[in-house]
A and B are shown apart, each in its own frame.
Chain A
Amino acid sequence: MPTKLVINCSTGERAEVEMTAEEVAQQEADASAFAEQEAAQQAELNATAAAKASAQAKLRALGLSDAEIEALVG
């Protein structure tokens, strides 16, 4: 079981105690939620990059130079 470092601010006493089952469940839920958020954020970034590449390819097909595309979309 993971441990928790507890500091009593009134007495200065420090203790290393095992986390409760509820605390471990909370830790795991937080980690899972974070992983989901990271995946969603990465998917959004990937979609944006793909859309930009697609737009640049279409502009290139219309005859724009790379410098002109860069001036338009950065």
Chain B
Amino acid sequence: MATHNLIQTVTVGAGGAASVEFTSIPQTYTDLLILYSLRGSQAQVYTQASLTFNASSTGYYWKMLQGTGTSIGNQAVTNGSSIGGFNGTGSSATANTFGNLRLYIPNYAGSQFKSCSINDVLETNASTTYMSLVAAVWTNTNAITTITITGANNWVQHSSASLYGIKNT
């Protein structure tokens, strides 16, 4: 049975932070899961987010499907400099609401290319908000030791991230 072990959890402080980065990730699990609760200061319902591994800015391929409550969209990027297409809540959303994001990375410590999936749902009391699904691959065979999520603007206070390691016991 797969068990989820909390490795680290962090909450953004009063000054906000443009980026949240987990480093020196232990290589003793099979998969990684990060649960984010994010609100950024972008003047939209959303705050655009991007993801990188090991501080690399090359070799990301991803496809996004998105619904907004009033329209649908999609985007595909080949050989990009980061993984995008997903969001945290923005400053135009209802006050004190945060977006929920889930990042899953199987076989992060292996020597194959690294795939991951991201799903997010933003919260706001309005007819238009965003929910996205992203499937991505990083064409790099190095084990993932660092994961960075960056906002188009600062992640505000009380945004949080919890990193879990998953393995069979």
Contacts and interface: CB of A to CB of B under 8 A. Distances in A.
Interface of A: 2-12, 14, 16, 19, 22-23, 26-27, 29-31, 33-34, 37, 41, 45
Contacts of A9: 7-8, 22-26, 163
Contacts, number: 84
B103 to A, nearest CB: 15
Given A9-B163, A30-B81, A30-B152, A2 B23 contact: no
Q: Which of A9, A14, A29, A37: most chain B Cβ within 10 A? A: A9
Contacts of A16: 13, 15, 17
Contacts of A29: 81
B82 A4 contact: no
Nearest to B151: A27
B24 A27 contact: no
Interface string B73-100: 1010000011010000000000000000
Nearest to A2: B18
The 6 closest A-B pairs by CB, nearest first: A2-B18, A4-B19, A10-B24, A5-B17, A31-B152, A30-B50
Given A27-B152, A37-B75, A7 B26 contact: no
Nearest to A45: B71
B48 interface: yes
